[in-house]
Amino acid sequence: MDAENLHYFEKAPITKAVAHFAVPMMLGMSMSVIYSILNAYFLGTLHNTAMLTALALTLPLFALIMALGNLIGMGAGTFISRLLGEKKYDQIKHVSAFAVYGSLLLGLIVIAVGLPLIDPIVHGLGATPGSFGFTKDYVTVMLIGAPVVVLCFTLENIVRSEGAAVTSMVGMILSVVVNIALDALAVFVLHAGVIGVASATIVANLVACVFYLFHMGVKSPFLTISVKWFKATREIVGNVLKIGIPVFIMSVFLGAMSLLLNHFLIEYGDRATAAYGLSSRLLQFPEFILMGLCEGVVPLIAFSFTANRLRMKQAIGFTVKAIALLAALFGLVVYLTSDHLIGWFTRDPQLIEMGSYILRVTFLSLFVSGATALFTGIFQATGQGTAALVMSVIQGVTLIPVLFVANAAYGFHGVVWSLVIADVVAFAVGGILLWTLRGRLQPELDFAG
């Protein structure tokens, strides 16, 4: 680790330290949301609701592929940050090499399992006869590109874990810029539609992978891509999976929740599904900003957990205040401009009305979802596998029964409000767990102080 990164880990004022780790992550993740929104925008210019529906239906699949990247990346990344605090530098090389080759293997497994089952997958995503062909095209490209996407999410996590937050951000922004350029080329020049947009995403992730691999192989003092450092010992696998599996389960639950919502919403027509797809993409912008803040401070929390627990408490306290401020600002913007935001993507007045409604309702839980992400990040950073596992399933476990009851009682409105209820329950459980574990996390400190 270079002297500058070490300074931010150990000695910089908390405000500057959190900014150093979190701002690049926030910027990078916001850019990734921008290109997700632009995917919808470029397809929206073709004025084909079936294409927008296909884009919404494939969100669970992308969430699953992303989950595999986070399975290795988040697990290895938090382990690496803790090892940095303990100054076990050779072990870091073993963990990083394991992460690289383990993620490639997972991506290849996705291809081997997914392609023979392509039609059942598309049906399972909820495709209607009108959107089946477009959905299948998108799914096919995403499955073929799975090793690249899984590797990209893994590399971004482990590069950030050594304190190279700016490098992590540059890789994400590079991917976004390439994706936007290729989207425009695919839609306006090549007229490739859904296949072109999906292919652009894969190529953009490949470019980011090359950038991260160059950093790890040439510039990083501790990370490596050399196969000679690869080890799959019980200690490495155990520590990676202890945090990685809860992260994976959480991502799978998010995908399953999106899939379940699509199945409920499709009962109210393609417009309802498309409206949810558009509003969820817009909601991703503030959500990912807050997620970037929470995930950005994870290396600082993990390092401080093994090196300076008072500093860890200070970082957590500052992050909570930042979440509250950002949630208030984003909420104000949405309530003033929701119709105009949805209107960027479609001229259909019914679609605008439905999308605006979903956007305003789901924004009600922005602060609690941000705080929940911080709770989860604390458990991941400190190696609290059981608590992280509980957080990974609680929202999905809550949402499933609420969806059935709310849909039966209140129809479309019940489906939309069920998301807020699930967020509030997850927040409450996270707060209880953090309070319960406060002695284990900081035996010499009290979280209430």
Is position 449 within any domain? no
Nearest to 385 by CA among 273, 279, 245: 245
Which pLDDT band, with edges at 50, 70 and 90, does 255 fall under?
low
Domain count within the chain: 1
pLDDT tens per residue, range 354-366: 888 888 888 888 8
Q: Are 396 and 256 in contact (CB under 8 A)?
A: yes
Question: Residue 144 above 80 pLDDT?
Answer: yes
Distance CA 67, CA 246 (A): 10
Examine residue 162 and state whether it is found in any structural domain, yes or no.
Answer: yes
Using CA atoms, how far apart are residues 225 and 30, in angstroms rounded to an integer?
28
Give domain status of residue 447, yes or no: no
In a domain, 448, yes or no: no
pLDDT band at 446 (very low <50, low <70, confident <90, very high): very low
**Angstrom distance (rounded) from CA 166 to CA 172:** 10
pLDDT (0 to 100) of residue 448? 39
pTM of the model: 0.71
The band of 214, judged by pLDDT with boundaries at 50, 70 and 90, is very high
Identify the pLDDT of residue 103.
Answer: 92
For residue 104, the model assigns a pLDDT of 93
Cα separation, 125 vs 128, in Å, equals 9
* Per-residue pLDDT tens over the stretch 256-308: 777 777 778 777 777 777 777 777 777 777 887 888 888 788 888 888 887 77
Residue 357's contacts (CB-CB under 8 Å, 6 or more residues apart) are 275, 416
CA distance 246 to 252: 10
Any idea what the Cα angle at residue 255 is, between residues 411 and 35, rounded to 5°? Answer: 105
Evaluate whether 268 touches 126 at the Cβ level (below 8 Å): no
Domain of 16 in residue numbering reads as 3-441
Whole-number pLDDT of residue 231? 83
Per-residue pLDDT at 101 exceeds 90: yes
Between CA 1 and CA 162 the distance in angstroms is 7
Domain for residue 446, yes or no? no
